[in-house]
Structure 1
Amino acid sequence: MSFTVVEPCTPRLNRSELAVPGSSPNLFEKAARSAADVVFLDLEDAVAPDRKAEARANIIRALHDVDWGDKVLSVRINGLDTHYMYRDVIDVIEQGGERLDLIMIPKVGTAADIYAVDMLVTQAEAAVGRTKRIGLEAIIETALGMANIDAIAAASKRLESLHFGVADYAASTRARTTMIGGPHPDYGVLGFPDEAGKRDYVLGDVWHYAVARMVVAARAHGLRPVDGPFGDFSDPDGFKAAAHRAAVLGCEGKWAIHPSQIALANEVMGPPEVEVERSRNILAAMAEAEREGRGAVSLDGRLIDYASIRQAEALVAKADQIAAKGT
């Protein structure tokens, strides 16, 4: 291991993150009763400009009046390039009490964006004597943000997670897209012809680089990488395919823009039982090997070493966290 120690952020279960418009308070109670690990109440894209103040007031009331249970609760503020952002931060902290856990920052382009929000949050917390420290979530959804992603990930001790905002990222990079978070029919590989001259066309993953890059930056700084939205909520198979891709690359969770996507995200982002059982067997086998003075052991025909232990410990810890929540 490097002499540089990566400090992990506040541990939270983050398999599913449900988006709820702040202008739709009728949805707040349903979100609170849902199986989502995290709920973010939105003041940004889901709220029309003439309803920003109303949505902010709705959220402040909900922070006091709604029983959010054990939900991790976040508020997505407006962008730093708008005149809504400072009031989002100040009003929510000064008037919202202690319930809020996180603030989500959209369209983060530079480390200075994180620094600016951290400064506002720190001052507002001190002004009201808040005792629970607010964490930050950052959405990477522009070419500028992706270019500066390492500096962004290291910008604040409050930062807990990086999220991939696929729709705005596609717009920023001028990518050709047919849907939010899905494949593109033109992004594929044409294979060599077989004996009959037939050539198979295999779709590629147009978002592979962006998600993988985000995962590396997040993990290098102890943060949670979370995949963003999948726009077609009438396509559960498409959502699961996108979530599986993100999970394989190392993401801990995925957004749900519709309640029907919550269970799908929890299913895919939760560790499969067969992997949990194998991980428990690995830990048991290594414990026995250590008692016998061995540094490695074979299990089911495969070499198990200390790297395997770290993987198994992380997976078992996640499984135990899910079991403790009961979902």
Structure 2
Amino acid sequence: MQVFFLPRDSSPRSGLDSAIAKQGLHADAQDYISTATKLVTYLPRGAMSFRVQPPAPARPNRCQLFGPGSRPAIFEKMAKSAADVINLDLEDSVAPDDKAQARRNIIAASHDIDWGNKYLSVRINGLDTPYWYRDVVELLEEGSERIDQIMIPKVGCAADVYAVDALVTAIEAAKGRKKRISLEVIIETAAGIAHVEEIAASSPRLQAMSLGAADFAASMGMATTGIGGTQENYYMIREGAKYWSDPWHWAQTAIVAACRTHGILPVDGPFGDFSDDEGFRAQALRSATLGMVGKWAIHPKQVALANEVFTPSEAAVTEAREILAAMEKAKAEGAGATVYKGRLVDIASIRQAEVIVRQAEMMKA
């Protein structure tokens, strides 16, 4: 069997033609490879299904607490919160006249505040504004190495991520920054959800992706002013009774699939009514069930709710460990499946249980 190593900038077709010519393969082999190459040419790079999907970053991301960069008085409280990720905001929560000062506030906070083990992220302004360039340049040229991540809002295509990545890369090299900045993106437009898979594959810096429900609803022309949660008019009727469905489900599922394919953390976005704890918890539970790892908090009281939902319960961890033990016993006996509490468990059950155990161990670490 011969293996062909193709140049990264060559197409499969041209690369194999060159390899075939150099090695003088038999005509039958050339025909076989030619046919196979025609098939592979239509696949995006990395699309072969036998490749194991990469793991997402191994860090807690149960709750992302947001705060305006224009309110430095709350930064200390955010740093002492129980949120895993702190998102200091330069975008929607900051008025245009306050953008420059908010940027200075965040730069100062990166030097002066003890953020502990928090993952510190800054949401910059959108690429359709005149602010984002200065956001990135000043944050990385004047901010401390304590800044971990830049959040890019309203990403509509992979090129948006590339633009920020290129600027970040240049600044890191020019300033000699030691910590590599990661990126997270928000899907909050029709274009973003249409291109979600290519966005997920856009940069090795990309670590997380969220759904921004409010702007997403506006971009889609949805008849709602709610931010996440159940929508009053999104229901079906059966025998006179109303049954509410989840209008965000399909978008969340698309995001989870894209993220899991490319080793990125899928995160649920905001829940606007911070007086409705049960509504927040219900949406968080749906998101966790779909495969999301955490949720935004736009009010401090939502932090505990998010942490509760996205931390595996003791009962869930115990059951997962028991399933793994049952499968180990079955394996030792030469069986590929067994029965646990009256239900069938097999190799797929092992993978499900391992997800829960890994989450629990990560929280303890």
TM-score of the superposed pair, with normalisation by structure 2: 0.85
What SS class does the counterpart of residue 107 from structure 1 fall into? coil
2:213 to 162, 166, 177: 166
Which aligned pairs between 1:58-97 and structure 2 lie closer than 5 A? 58-97=105-144
Cα distance in 2 between the residues matched to 1:7 and 1:204: 32
- After TM superposition, the structure 1 = structure 2 runs for residues 112-123 of structure 1, keeping only pairs within 5 Å, are 112-123=159-170
Asked whether the equivalents of residues 93 and 124 of structure 1 are also in contact (C-alpha less than 8 Å), the reply is: yes
Name 2:342's counterpart in structure 1. 301
Taking the TM superposition and a 5 Å limit, the aligned residue runs for 1:156-235 are 156-192=203-239, 199-235=240-276
| In 2: Cα distance, 1:228 partner to 1:245 partner | 13
Structure showing greater radius of gyration is: 2
Matching of residues 7-156 of structure 1 within 5 Å: 7-156=54-203
Provide the C-alpha distance between the structure 2 equivalents of 1:133 and 1:296, rounded to a whole number of angstroms. Answer: 44
Aligned to 1:315: 356
CA distance in 1, matches of 2:342, 2:313: 21
Runs of 4+ off more than 3 Å: none
Residues 151-185 of structure 1, C-alpha deviation per residue, up to 9 Å, x if partnerless?
10100011111100000001101101142112221
Instruction: Please identify, of 240-249 and 250-259, the stretch whose mean Cα deviation from structure 2 is larger.
Output: 240-249
Deviations 1:208-261 (A, max 9, x none): 111111111111111111010011111111111111111111111100000000
Letter of the 2:55 counterpart: P
- SS of equivalent to 1:130: coil
CA contact (8 A) 2:57 2:265 kept: no
Per-residue deviation, 1:270 = 1.4
- Partner SS, residue 202 of structure 1: strand
Where does residue 238 of structure 1 map in the other structure?
Answer: 279
In structure 2, how many angstroms separate the alpha carbons of the residues matched to 1:32 and 1:167? 26
Would you say the 8 A contact 1:161–1:223 is kept in 2?
yes
Q: What is the CA-CA distance between 1:262 and the residue it aligns to?
A: 0.2
Alignment partner of 2:75: what SS?
helix
Amino acid at match of 1:288: K
Partners of 1:9 and 1:103 in 2: CA distance: 17
Cα distance in structure 2, aligned partners of 1:291 and 1:245: 36
Question: Identity across aligned pairs (percent)?
Answer: 59
Deviation (angstroms), 1:113: 0.2
What is aligned with 2:20?
none
Q: Which residue of 2 aligns with 1:262?
A: 303
Tell me how far apart the structure 1 counterparts of residues 150 and 72 of structure 2 sit (CA, whole Å).
Answer: 19
Q: Whole-Å Cα distance in 2 between the matches of residues 9 and 16 of structure 1?
A: 16
Gaps of 5+ in 1: 193-198
Counterpart amino acid of residue 238 in structure 1: G
CA distance in 2, matches of 1:216, 1:10: 16
**Counterpart residue type for residue 217 of structure 1:** A
TM-score (norm 1): 0.94
Choose between structure 1 and 2 for higher RCO, CA contacts under 8 A separated by at least 6 residues. Answer: 1
Match of 2:263, SS? coil
- Residues 137-146 or 241-250, more deviating: 241-250
Q: Give yes or no for contact 1:137–1:161 (8 Å, CA) kept in 2.
A: yes
2:183 is paired with a residue of what secondary structure? strand
Aligned partners of 1:9, 1:278: CA distance in 2, in Å?
24
- Supply the distance in 2 between the matched residues of 1:76 and 1:151 (Cα, whole angstroms): 21
Shift of 1:296: 2.0
- Report the Cα distance in structure 1 between the residues aligned to 2:58 and 2:183, rounded to whole angstroms: 13
- The alpha-carbon deviation at position 9 of structure 1 amounts to 3.6
- Count of aligned positions: 318
Aligned 1:273-312 pairs, distance under 5 A: 273-312=314-353
Q: Which runs of 5+ in 2 are unaligned?
A: 1-47
Give the deviation of 1:127 after TM superposition.
1.2
Work out the CA distance in 1 between the residues paired with 2:268 and 2:163: 24
After alignment, is 303-312 or 40-49 more displaced?
303-312
Rounded Cα–Cα distance in structure 1 between residues aligned with 2:84 and 2:118: 6
Note if contact 1:61-1:96 (Cα within 8 Å) is conserved in structure 2: yes
CA RMSD of superposed structures (Å): 1.3
Between 1:1-10 and 1:174-183, the stretch displaced more is 1-10
Query: Does the 8 Å CA contact 1:187/1:204 hold for their aligned counterparts?
Result: yes
